[in-house]
Structure 1
Amino acid sequence: MTSPTCHPTLPRVLGLFDAVLLVVGGIIGSGIFFKAKVLAAGDLHSFGPIIAAWIAVGVHTLCGSLAIAELAAMLPHAGGPYVYLREAFGRPVGFLWGWTEFWIIRTASIAALACATVISLNEVLPSSARLGRGGQQVTAVALILGLMFVNVVGTRWAASLQNLTVVVKLAFLAAIIVLPFALGRAETANLGPIWPESVSGTFWRALGVGMIAVLWPYNGWVNITPVAEEIREPQRNLPLALGIGVTIVVVVYVLANVSYHLVLPMERIAASESGVAADTFRALFGSTGARVAALGVVCSTFGGTTTTLLTGPRIYFAMARDGMLPAALASVHATFRTPAVAIVVQALWALVLIAVAFVWKSGPNDRLIDAFDALTDFVIFGGLLFYALVVAAVPVLRRKRPDLPRPYRTWGYPATPVIYLLGSAAVMISMLYDKLPQTAAGTIFIAAGIFYYVYRTKSRPSAES
């Protein structure tokens, strides 16, 4: 491997098509298939508020992506948000983002997506061959290790694999959207009451909980930015990829949820065990349809795992290149030209989180889906906090660094960043009420990062410029 002290760079091997599919693939993974149940089983009880939650979080995500595109085009370097936060708020905040990404956001996302892949894989297998709890854990571990190897041997290989999975998952979601109408099985009676007869404080709290659930399906919209150093013509392609990719996802998500509710009554969605997509295909085509749907979900969650594993190591690579993390993480493999050490370390911590989730949800009534939900809730608070800081970096850098070239300026500024920040604040307040254990756990990890940063800067003063 090359010496990290040489400040190695990564080759630009990805075009606009790759970039758009990285955005789409980074977002569409497991949530669109598993989180519809959470909303239906909650206290909203009506189609209108449920679809409003998907639209609201979609608009929230689009506003964030339109803002962060300015930063990505202005600073197209490996690390993405780490670089933006470092430039806007200083090294400590940039470091805490990378710290939280490693310990919570990125690795827990990888673990959750691997669990979701195994859940759906079990639905594909005949009942006699289905995996027990131990077999599911081993399979999730093997999946992460296999994808780790693919990412080590080449960015182009990993990107081609994720491009293929994105095409498959979009085709599958298109089938979910179109087939109920083509087969005449879309029943408006399944929608029930569109809106509750009365709206109380309980309703607004339930809407907040629903939006927390929907944040997971939309999580991953920043995944393109850490690989900016490997994208050709980043000043043009990064804003285009973010705008096009997020818009595609919002439209697909809203239409897929409409389709779910036209095929299945609310109580059927709320009671779903194998994922709403599988239940929708079961209603349309019987048990064979359910297996086909489960295979589609496997492709989607597998692709989401691939994308998340691909993009994360570039953050730790950039931080190590700045002297913020151990120097080995800034190594570039001499043959494959990938940040191999960062890829391996990320995968190993994701394996630890899988083990922790299995132990945490190891009761007699717990299932793998409970470990999945625990991991996704663990991700959201820390991610939302730092995504908000990244969006806030747009006005900060406009004042602090007006000299930097801005080939793209945030569309709708200042409304788009303000909408994103207000929405993030509302959801974080909701999490303090309704997801306190997960929020507290995430906060503890972030606080630990502060202590580590102080220790590291005192022991290595040269790291702080």
Structure 2
Amino acid sequence: MDDKTAFKPSLRLIDATMLVAGSMIGSGIFIVSADITRNVGSAGWLLFVWLITGFMTLTAALSYGELSAMFPKAGGQYVYLKEAYNPLVGFLYGWSFFTVIQTATIAAVGVAFAKFTAYLIPGLSEDLVALDLGFVTISPAQLLSILVIVLLTFINTRGVNSGKIVQTVFTMAKLLSLLALIVFGLFALKTSVWQQNWHNAWNIHGLKPDGTVTNYTLIAGLGAVASAMVGSIFSSDSWNNVTFIAGEIRNPQRNIGLSLALGTLIVTLIYLLTNVMYTGVLSLHDIAAADKDRVGVVASTQIFGSWGTVIIALLIMVSTFGCNNGLIMSGARVYYSMAKDGLFFKQVGSLNKNSVPGFGLWLQCIFACLWSLSGKYGNLLDMISFVVVVFYVLTIMGIFILRKKMPGANRPYKAFGYPVLPVVYMLMGVAFCLLLIRYKPTYTWPGLLITLTGIPVYYLIGGRKTGNDIQMELEAEAKQI
């Protein structure tokens, strides 16, 4: 099949930018500010957590521009890690990506879509039981999540243009809707609430839903910021999905780096403005104590009255539907690249008649549906946050390694602010991981163990032999460059 088909470069700059922004914006921005507020307790620190997360995301995206221009092919971060280090490191990323990072994220976003659909159709609630199999009960929300995942997978097997249309339309819709929510929220701003929230904006402390305050030492305060960033980092994650689909982007050396910069900048600004709006219409206690952490619902009700719940439900449905399309579209390209290297199922390394990795898309679909049924994907996403940042740090460190390893390589785009900004990101990433190890070990060790299970898998599938062959090819390529 691959002799007759190949990836078709069909995505323009606008499509790639919408993939970046659309994959980032799911349901997190409407939820995680509650947990952030409980950790830091003040408006200034709430904004600071989002600002520092945005800075890290932008810095990483601008740094990835150099790598995407050097290796403009399907696989993205897996390819960068393989080229900078060795096939084992690349495989461990791909293994984590397949087992939890991408498939569990798809499941979580799918269930978020279903949860908010239940606001409009109560019969789809996650609290109801649709099937009781004895060993597991399945809610209507989980079944709807599976239906959405299957539908979007089918659309993407029809070719990249089908997925592109869905992505661009839904991302444009949610960006405009979010901007409208921000504008209406700022018009509904309550002066008394705003003044109360910003009166002592930089006093960091714990704030429980019952109003109890916990004072911090300096180190504990840093730990609270790191804990708070778990939510904001996941809400800002998946920006790198566009690098996975590089083989289908027109002029990838230019457009991948540019789409990363534009997409992450747009989302960072929207996230900051959304949280400014929250502090203008809701007290900090209301944000921290929001029912099931649904801050967006509480804020929308304050802005639009009884229609607020319907409006925010529709917005989140559009947001999560578009987000999942981007995740599904891009994820299968990583498994495709791994299979091409002999490090994944052989069938995943083939393209269907529509020039997309159909087998990989359906395999990803099956695992995402299983996570939807498990009900445990939320915990696993929290646990993997540590590993996600570790791989980001390793990838950015790869820029330094590759400049030494391949000094004469063609670099149409170079990392912005090199070497200062990449070093700053690495230091911040390492500090974040160390603080999580100290203050929230449940977020670190399980995710690390999931990643390390990939080591025996790598050798069981013949990774040593395959890896040696890949390494020899990489070294020969480096010498030629």
In 1, distance between residues paired with 2:124 and 2:347? Answer: 42
Paired AA for residue 189 in structure 1: Q
Instruction: Tell me which amino acid in the other structure corresponds to 1:106.
Output: Q
1:306 aligns to what? 325
* 1:83, distance to aligned residue in structure 2 (A): 1.0
Which of 243, 252, 255 pairs up with 1:234? 252
Taking the aligned partners of 2:418 and 2:403, their CA distance within structure 1 comes to 12
Q: Does 1:124 align with 2:129?
A: no
Amino acid in the other structure paired with 2:95: W
Task: Tell me if structure 2 keeps the 8 A contact 1:190–1:261.
Answer: no
1:344-377 deviations in Å (ceiling 9; x for gaps): 1111111222222x2x5xxxxxxxxxx64x2431
Distance change (3 Å), C-alpha of 1:122 and 1:178: same
1:410-421 → structure 2 map (5 Å cutoff):
410-421=415-426
Q: Which residue of 2 aligns with 1:213?
A: 231
Distance, in Å, in 2 between the alignment partners of 1:57 and 1:13 is 32
CA gap 1:185/1:164 in 2 versus in 1, 3 angstroms: farther
Give TM-score scaled by structure 1 length: 0.91
Matches within 5 A, 1:191-202: 191-192=197-198, 193-196=200-203, 200=217, 201-202=219-220
Amino acid at match of 1:40: T
The answer as to 2:399 corresponding to 1:394 is yes
Partner SS, residue 312 of structure 2: helix
Computed over aligned residues only, the root mean square deviation of the Cα atoms, in angstroms, reads 2.0
- Deviation of the 1:278 alpha carbon: 1.7
Which deviations, in whole Å up to 9, do the C-alpha atoms of 1:249-281 show, x marking residues without a partner?
A: 111111110101110111111122262222111
* Equivalent residue number for residue 278 of structure 2: 260
2:162 corresponds to which residue? Answer: 157
Deviation at 1:191, TM superposition (A): 1.5
Identity fraction in percent: 31
Name the residue aligned to 1:67: 63
Q: TM-score, normalised by structure 2?
A: 0.88
Are residues 1:32 and 2:32 paired? Answer: no
**Aligned-partner Cα distance in 2 for 1:99–1:170:** 32
Which shows bigger deviation, 153-162 or 265-274?
265-274
User: Per-residue CA shift, 1:390-443, capped at 9, x if unaligned?
Assistant: 111111111101122100011110111111111111111122234323422222
| C-alpha deviation, 1:320, in angstroms | 0.7
1:16 corresponds to 2:22: no
- Where 2:428 maps in the other structure, the secondary structure is helix
Q: What residue in structure 1 maps to residue 338 of structure 2?
A: 319
Match of residue 449 from structure 2: 444
Which residue number in structure 2 is paired with residue 279 of structure 1? Answer: 298
The DSSP-based 3-state class of the residue aligned with 1:287 is helix
State how 1:422-437 maps to structure 2 within 5 Å: 422-437=427-442
2:173 and 2:318 in contact (8 A); partners too: yes
Q: Tell me, in whole angstroms, the C-alpha distance in 1 between the residues paired with 2:124 and 2:343.
A: 47
Equivalence for 2:352? 333
Is the counterpart of residue 246 in structure 1 residue 251 in structure 2? no
**Mapped contact 1:69–1:239 kept (Cα < 8 A):** yes
Matched, 1:348 2:345: no
The one-letter code of the counterpart of 1:66 is: L
Aligned residues: 446
Contiguous gaps of at least 5 residues in structure 2: 130-138, 205-214, 471-481
Partner of 1:367: none
Shift of 1:14: 0.3
**2:42, 2:201 within 8 Å by CA — same for their partners in 1?**
yes
Question: Following superposition of structure 1 onto structure 2, how do residues 76-115 of structure 1 map, counting pairs within 5 Å?
Answer: 76-115=72-111
Supply the distance in 2 between the matched residues of 1:459 and 1:177 (Cα, whole angstroms). 53
What is the DSSP-based 3-state SS (H/G/I as helix, E as strand, rest coil) of the residue aligned with 2:411? coil
The corresponding residue for 1:56 is 52
Tell me how far apart the structure 2 counterparts of residues 212 and 402 of structure 1 sit (CA, whole Å). Answer: 36
CA separation in 1, counterparts of 2:432 and 2:177? 30
Q: Secondary structure at the match of 1:29?
A: coil
- Structure 1: which 5+ runs fail to align? 361-370
Q: CA deviation at 1:57?
A: 0.8
Output the CA distance in 1 between the equivalents of 2:438 and 2:100.
20
8 A Cα contact 2:61 2:260, kept in partner = yes
2:222 to 201, 204, 208: 204
Matched ranges for 1:284-299 at <5 A:
284-299=303-318
Q: Which secondary structure does the structure 2 equivalent of 1:123 belong to?
A: coil
